[in-house]
Amino acid sequence: MFSGLPAAELGRLARMAADLHLSPGEFAVHEGGEAALFAVFAGKIEVVKTFDGVERTLGWRLPGTIFGEVPIALGSGFPGGYRAAEPSRVMRIEVQQYYSIAAVSKDVAQKVSALARERMGGLQSVTAEPQKPRVTLVGHRWDAACGDLRRFLARNQISFSWLLPDTPDAEAFWSTQRRPAQDGPVALLADGEIVERPAVRDLAIRLGLQTRPRADEYDVAIVGGGPAGLAAAVYGASEGLRTIVVEREAPGGQAGTSSRIENYLGFPSGISGDELASRALQQAKRLGAEILVTRSVAGIDPATHEVELDGTDVVRARSLILATGVAWRRLAIDGFDRLIGKGVYYGAARSEASSTHGQDVYLIGAGNSAGQAAMHFSGHARSVTLLVRGPSLADSMSHYLIEQLRAKSNVKVQLRSEVQVVHGETHLTAIDILDKTSNAVSRHECGGLFVFIGANAETEWLPAEVARDARGYVLTGDDVKKAGHWSHGRDPYLLETSAPGIFACGDVRLSPVKRVASAVGEGSMAIAFVHQYLANEGKAQRG
């Protein structure tokens, strides 16, 4: 590759290129890493790529070969990861260094381009392979259990296909499988196992998701896997803390259900909540954090920092971070609770959009979450109506989102309106809407009703030692002292609760700011305070 370079260029290359000595299992570059050119001097490099959460080996790079030509040619990140299978020595050439070499030697540029074309053909053949879903789910649209399973699979990034019973696709499916004796959702796993009416946690276990702690003790246990919790996991694990996250459903929290986050730094075109959560989850796992899913916290011990999970498991940790976020505020409407999951939903995961195809759907709310959902549903539903109690959207929704909604021909905003009654036996069929301007009530066919009316902190499960305000938000820092809940010798850290060593971040903490960016910032800050607490605790024990 470089044999034709002048001696001066070879010398410059030798001085500027990185000389990497990798241990087995150590990555030269991770999937998605920044473009660079690598050459293998010794050892063996494994090429790996994650498909649907499962890592596959695509090939090997042996001494005398290079990799990184595709990112160089496309100006993109690495399509796969490159990991040492045995002690290896690799040279890394940065992009600007490569361009300097290519400017001197056209032969190098031509060789790299030719190799890139060859490798891209191989990647295309891999990505063109039909990917068999990890789960085939057969269940009725209005079966709440089936809906729970679909949301769980979608939010945990598990590929699945969904078949409605009594359809030609389902009949073709059952012609090759044993039809179950009882009605209800059925899951066919990729290994051929059929599970009838699976519980969410049972399905998680069968799919290899972590549901139990692996270690006896952790430096920090994080309750909640939303943006704040995942940020704390990333920073905790990256800084050497034994870190575990306990999440009752799926990583991402409420942000994970957002169809589009437009104002998050670093994503000029916006990013969906589940994609942001997926990236953060991969990052936290890669750095060594453990993520438990489908586990609820029954209680915590403020003195020992033990976390009692539903069931018999206990997580032992030296410090805790509360990042439980908030839950959608409930509506007291006649018939509402009976139809939850059967056409009535709090929030809206992106996976729900396909089920609204050709339907007339209604959204209750006037905030950005409602506006983003309306934009997303507009590409699937026949019509989308935003029901707003107030006289205007301007007080609660960002201007750019209001303008986007105005440009959608199948989106309508109905001001000064409220839902009074919902109708349906097995599922939602219609809603009654009160026009508060005229006091007239009208009935409308409805294929889905989605509620975005704000949220409350659900912190009743916390012990009395963790002080909260009247609405359930956790007090931290100066607020703890002002409320008279701090009696220790030192001042509480900024994000520390009234129980020493227990911190709170994100929406569950009493704060006027409720944004994804602030939650991520607080999650990282919480780890800094955990370090200080653990250091002081160690000094106190030695003293």
Q: CB count, 10 Å around CB of 258?
A: 28
Cβ distance 326 to 227 under 8 Å?
A: no
CA geometry: angle 111, 112, 114, nearest 5 deg? 65
Q: Which pLDDT score, from 0 to 100, does residue 410 have?
A: 95
Residues 6+ apart with CB under 8 A from 402: 371, 393, 394
In this predicted structure, what is the pLDDT of residue 279?
Answer: 85
Q: What is the pLDDT of residues 473-485, one digit of tens each?
A: 999 999 999 999 9
Q: pLDDT digit string (tens) for 382-404?
A: 999 999 999 999 989 989 899 99
- Comparing 277 with 472, which gets the higher pLDDT? 472
In which band, very low, low, confident or very high, does the pLDDT at 354 lie, cut at 50, 70 and 90? Answer: confident
Q: State the average pLDDT for the chain.
A: 88
Better pLDDT: 148 or 411: 411
pLDDT of residue 206: 93
Task: Report the DSSP pairing between strands 135-138 and 160-163.
Answer: parallel
Please say if the pLDDT value at position 63 is more than 90: yes
- Average pLDDT on 256-280 reads 79
Reported as a pLDDT band with limits 50, 70 and 90, residue 271 is confident
Give the pairing type, strands 502-504 and 320-322. Answer: parallel
Strands (E), 185-278: 186-189, 194-196, 220-223, 243-246
Residue 221, amino acid: A
Asked if residue 539 has pLDDT above 60, the reply is no
493 pLDDT above the threshold of 70 = yes
Most confident range (mean pLDDT) of 7-11, 77-81, 504-508 is: 504-508
Q: What is the pTM of this model?
A: 0.80
Between 178 and 281, the more confident residue is 281
**What integer is the mean pLDDT of 116-134?**
67
- At 416, is the pLDDT very low, low, confident or very high (cuts 50, 70, 90)? very high
Indicate if the pLDDT at residue 53 is higher than 80: no
> Does pLDDT of 15 surpass 90?
no
Q: Which of 18-22, 127-131, 212-216, 473-477 has the lowest mean pLDDT?
A: 127-131
When pLDDT is cut at 50, 70 and 90, the band that residue 123 belongs to is low
Tens of pLDDT along 426-470? Answer: 899 999 999 999 999 999 999 999 999 878 888 999 999 999 999
Domains of the chain are 7-127 (2.60.120.10), 135-206 (3.40.30.10), 220-326+457-542 (3.50.50.60), 337-455 (3.50.50.60)
pLDDT of residue 543: 47
157-160 long-range contacts (CB < 8 A, ≥24 apart) are 157/52, 157/53, 157/274, 157/278, 157/281, 158/52, 158/53, 158/134, 158/207, 159/52, 159/131, 159/133, 159/134, 159/135, 160/133, 160/134, 160/135, 160/136
Backbone angles phi, psi at 304, to 5 degrees: -95, -15
Quick check: 286 pLDDT over 80?
yes
pLDDT tens-place string over residues 170-197: 888 887 787 776 777 999 998 888 899 9
pLDDT > 90 fraction of the chain, expressed in percent and rounded: 53
Euclidean distance between CA atoms 357 and 445, whole angstroms:
15
Reported as a pLDDT band with limits 50, 70 and 90, residue 542 is very low
pLDDT at 351: 67
Highest mean pLDDT among 4-8, 40-44, 74-78: 40-44
- Tell me the average pLDDT across 345-354: 75
